[in-house]
């Protein structure tokens, strides 16, 4: 019998977090000490949490902030998965430490992160920490949390630097100027389109170019999609990039645009969203092809009429689950062709 088993009822309340850091995805699992000691083989069947090694996956992992300091989401109303809250928890692993710190020190942490508005509300933050129902002071827990937040912080900082370098490279691309005006398309998404598409002259016509995205199903002059099934072939990164642009155009743009109108016609005809959305992506890909082919800037007014951007929070909420929606859509494309 092991020493821990001999402790019997004297087992401390303790949990162990295991992380497997992978290339495409990470895996995390939490197992209690009691399960390890008295659970027999149960610890081998503990439920694991899988999350991709992307920003969306990192966001999925970061709700640990809600356990550590639940009131933090009252202060950082937009997200507790961004750099500022993570850096704050890394500096003060428990609400008690945050409440006991000097206002000047806490303000310095926030100011250095660039959240100047929040830095001016330090008193409000420390009041929330003082009455928090979050993590209690404990050297062991604080150490583990400090390690986890350090891991998250290194990911966020590296990602921010990588995004900065990526943007600098993308905007120097000679064809970037033609598609820069595309709504809801950041430099990273446009960079994927430019990199994967390559030299547009290699495609004989727009049909070949759109087919390469995997969305082509026969485009009519009216810019609608025929009744033939969408192909699941094509470059997956390019397919995802067009979906990330088309989704907010269809679901959150408050104006009227041809992409939204096409989507509504398709759904009105009885198509589910995951069959209607590929049609929108195909039309968008056609428009981008013409911009690159004829060296003409994307004309938002000509393509959209009046553009009314979605509310910022609504757009952030949509972007948080675009990966999941994309997987649903592609799964149906695969099922149709398979």
Half-sphere exposure of 152 (CA within 13 A, CB side): 29
- What is the model's pLDDT at position 336? 62
pLDDT at 229: 42
For residues 157 and 199, membership in a common domain is answered with: no
Same-domain pairing of 141 and 264: no
Q: What is the pLDDT of residue 245?
A: 92
Regarding whether 70 and 20 lie in a shared domain, the answer is no
The whole domain housing 5 covers: 1-53
Is there a single domain that holds both residue 223 and residue 313?
Answer: yes
**Total domain count for the chain?**
3
- 199 and 285 together in one domain: yes
Q: Looking at the structure, do residues 325 and 187 belong to the same domain, yes or no?
A: yes
Query: Among residues 168, 193, 221, which one ends one of the domains?
Result: 168
Give me the residues of the chain with pLDDT under 70, please. Answer: 1-15, 17, 23, 38-39, 53-67, 135-142, 216-233, 300-321, 334-338
7 and 113 in one domain? Answer: no
Q: Which residues pair with 12 in a beta bridge?
A: none
Q: Are residues 197 and 313 in the same domain?
A: yes
pLDDT of residue 1: 44
How many beta carbons lie within 10 A of that of residue 18, not counting itself? 11
Residue 63 and residue 161 in one domain: yes
Q: What pLDDT shows up at residue 327?
A: 78
Say yes or no: 205 and 299 in one domain: yes
**Quick check: 258 and 178 in contact, CB under 8 A?**
no
Distances in whole angstroms, Cα of residue 243 to Cα of each of 16, 81, 125, 155, 284: 39, 24, 39, 26, 9
CA 93 to chain centroid: 25
Are residues 283 and 178 located together in one domain of the fold? yes
| Domain end call among 114, 143, 168 | 168
7 and 97 housed in the same domain = no
pTM score of the predicted model: 0.58
pLDDT at 60: 59
Q: Tell me, what's the pLDDT at 152?
A: 78
The pLDDT assigned to 51 comes to 73
């Amino acid at each position: 019998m092991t020493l821990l088993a001999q402790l019997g009822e004297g087992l401390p309340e303790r949990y162990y977090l295991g992380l497997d850091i992978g290339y495409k995805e990470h895996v995390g699992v939490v197992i209690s000490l009691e399960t390890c000691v008295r659970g027999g083989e149960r610890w081998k069947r503990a439920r694991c949490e899988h999350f991709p090694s992307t920003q969306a996956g990192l966001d999925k992992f970061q709700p640990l902030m809600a356990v550590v300091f639940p009131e933090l989401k009252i202060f950082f109303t937009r997200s507790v998965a961004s750099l500022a809250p993570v850096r704050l928890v890394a500096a003060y692993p428990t609400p008690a430490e945050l409440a006991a710190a000097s206002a000047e020190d806490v303000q310095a942490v926030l100011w250095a992160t660039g959240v100047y508005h929040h830095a001016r509300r330090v008193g409000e933050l420390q009041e929330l920490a003082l009455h928090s129902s979050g993590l209690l002071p404990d050297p062991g827990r604080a150490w583990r949390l400090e390690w986890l937040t350090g891991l998250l912080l290194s990911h966020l900082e590296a990602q921010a630097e990588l995004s900065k370098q990526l943007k600098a490279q993308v905007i120097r691309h000679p064809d970037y100027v033609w598609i820069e005006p595309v709504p809801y398309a950041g430099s990273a998404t446009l960079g994927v389109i430019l990199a994967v598409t390559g030299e547009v002259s290699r495609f004989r016509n727009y049909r070949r170019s759109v087919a390469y995205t995997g969305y082509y199903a026969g485009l009519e002059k009216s810019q609608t999609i025929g009744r033939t099934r969408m192909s699941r072939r094509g470059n997956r990164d390019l397919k995802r990039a067009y979906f990330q642009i088309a989704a907010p155009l269809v679901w959150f743009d408050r104006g009227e645009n041809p992409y939204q109108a096409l989507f509504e016609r398709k759904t009105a005809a009885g198509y589910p969203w995951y069959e209607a959305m590929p049609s929108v992506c195909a039309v968008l890909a056609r428009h981008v092809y013409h911009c690159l082919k004829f060296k003409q800037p994307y004309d938002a007014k000509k393509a959209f009429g009046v553009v009314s951007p979605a509310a910022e929070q609504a757009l952030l909420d949509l972007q948080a689950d675009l990966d999941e929606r994309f997987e649903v859509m592609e799964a149906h494309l695969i099922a149709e062709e398979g």
